A and B are shown apart, each in its own frame.
Chain A
Amino acid sequence: MVHDDYKEMIPARALSALDAAEERVLNEHLENCAECRKELEDWQATAAALSLAPDPAEPSPKVRERILSEVRKDLSKPEVVPFKSRRNIWSSFGTLGAIAAVVLFAALSIGLAVVWRQNQRLKTANQFVELVNTPGARVSELKGTDPSQTATAKLAYDRTGRAILMASKLPRVPEGKAYQLWFIVGNKPPVPGRTFVPDSAGNAVLKEEMPAEAVDANVFAITVEPESGSTAPTSPIYLRSF
């Protein structure tokens, strides 16, 4: 297929009218073609004009209340206490202070990066607990399969599509590859989620917004894919829910 063939498909893609196979092929092309991505954005703007064609309608005031109530809940979530360094640590260093400052600044920067990552993980862990405690939330346990028998993961999700994955003991992925989460609804093709790379200890956390077609998913799986993610799994399953 040549570039112009893809371009011809773009208006239909803006109306999400392509058949699944064509959409998959075009999506792969879009990942590598900035010109076609721009073209899609232009067609989406044209398609958006169609939204003005139906009669406008007033939703119930309860919708606004529900949205703002969710937002307030979100805002009131406890934040992790930020890392604080001691003050006046330099005062006792005398003339060596400047040199020491440079060395220590470098060390501190690395330390801060580690602490920041730990904070992020802790923050996500807090959010995981919050999510689990949300009415209607569910937790699914994923276990490693042959390529990664020791790996485990837990996925918490609610009916709005909010999901958080916490995984541990994941084998390291090859350069250019990443783990990818999949949502499986009945016998339909798996719906792709985000990609992620575990840290050196094999731990990973992933905040995910489940696509609408995946909110009814009852099976979850993780495969190894190219870093940019795949639209359909290309590797064996590394972890899956039971």
Chain B
Amino acid sequence: MQPEDDVKLLKAIAARDEAALAQLYDRYRVILFGLLMRILNNREEAEDVLQEVFLQVWRKAEDFDENRGRPFTWLVTLGRSRSIDRLRTLAARDRVAEAGAREAVEEISDAATDAFKSEQRGLVSKALAQLPDEQKRPIMLAYFDGLTQSEIATRLGAPLGTVKTRMRTGLMNLREQLAGKGESFGF
């Protein structure tokens, strides 16, 4: 997950290199799909969004600006934003995902897992575990459930101002914990 390799891939994709897109897909599909499954909790929806994200990468790779962030951040932001949009649309259609009834996921090949299983996930889990619950919950509800600060305040029965402060402090703590480890994350 070297960012400079990712930048090269995106440049090749912008030059219409199909193999480069396949390589980027193979590199990140399990991380992204794990994220999309966590947000959407529905295999079919998550696969649709995964497809949309990579087709968007194909069409928009030339718009990627390496001075404005790493490819991994771009890819994840794209995937998350599309899936949250989809989640909100589905919620609007009264289709509420049932927490706790997560769909089973298929076995992951060793080769795919090797690309990311190492220390990076451990570092994020550790950083999250060290956050006080009152800071972690607003962050998780925003990132994975697509709730806005007002919705989180209602959900947690906490004043809006408190939710705002806790979310900001929590994210600052998270950044502090991960500081200096950016290179190993590839973002």
Contacts and interface: CB of A to CB of B under 8 A. Distances in A.
B47 A49 contact: no
A16 B30 contact: no
Contact of A67 (B38, B55, B138): B55
Nearest to B146: A16
Nearest to A72: B18
B142 A15 contact: yes
Given A46-B175, A212-B85, A161 B52 contact: yes
A185 to B, nearest CB: 9
Contacts of A51: 31-32, 34-35, 76, 79-80
B64 interface: no
A56 B31 contact: yes
B86 interface: yes
B51 interface: yes
Given A15-B142, A17-B142, A68-B18, A56 B187 contact: no
B105 A55 contact: yes
Interface stretch (A37-45, A86-94, A103-111): A37-45
B21 A71 contact: yes
Nearest to A47: B143
Interface in A6-38: 8, 11-12, 14-20, 37
Contacts, number: 183
Interface in B161-178: 164, 167-168, 171-172, 174-175, 178
Contacts of B46: 57, 59
A contact residues, range: 35 or more
A3 interface: no
Contact of A46 (B120, B138, B164, B174): B174
Given A56-B108, A57-B108, A209-B60, A160 B52 contact: yes
Contacts of A213: 85, 88-89
Nearest to A15: B142
A234 to B, nearest CB: 24
Contacts of A50: 124, 128, 139, 143-144, 174
B30 A56 contact: yes
Interface residues of B, number: 80
B43 to A, nearest CB: 8
A67 B54 contact: yes
Contacts of B54: 67
A67 B25 contact: yes
A43 B174 CA distance: 10
B68 interface: yes
Interface of B: 16, 18, 21-22, 25-26, 29-35, 37-38, 43, 46-47, 50-52, 54-56, 58-60, 68-70, 72-73, 76-77, 79-82, 84-86, 88-89, 105-109, 112-113, 116-117, 120-121, 124-125, 127-128, 138-139, 142-144, 146-150, 152, 164, 167-168, 171-172, 174-175, 178, 182, 185, 187
Nearest 5 pairs between A and B by C-beta? A54-B38, A212-B85, A17-B142, A57-B105, A56-B34
Interface of A: 8, 11-12, 14-20, 37, 41, 43-60, 62-64, 66-68, 70-72, 74-75, 160-162, 209, 211-213, 216
Given A11-B171, A71-B58, 20 more contacts: A14-B171, A16-B142, A17-B148, A18-B148, A20-B148, A37-B68, A51-B79, A52-B31, A52-B121, A53-B128, A56-B116, A58-B105, A58-B107, A58-B112, A67-B25, A67-B55, A71-B55, A212-B52, A212-B89, A216-B89
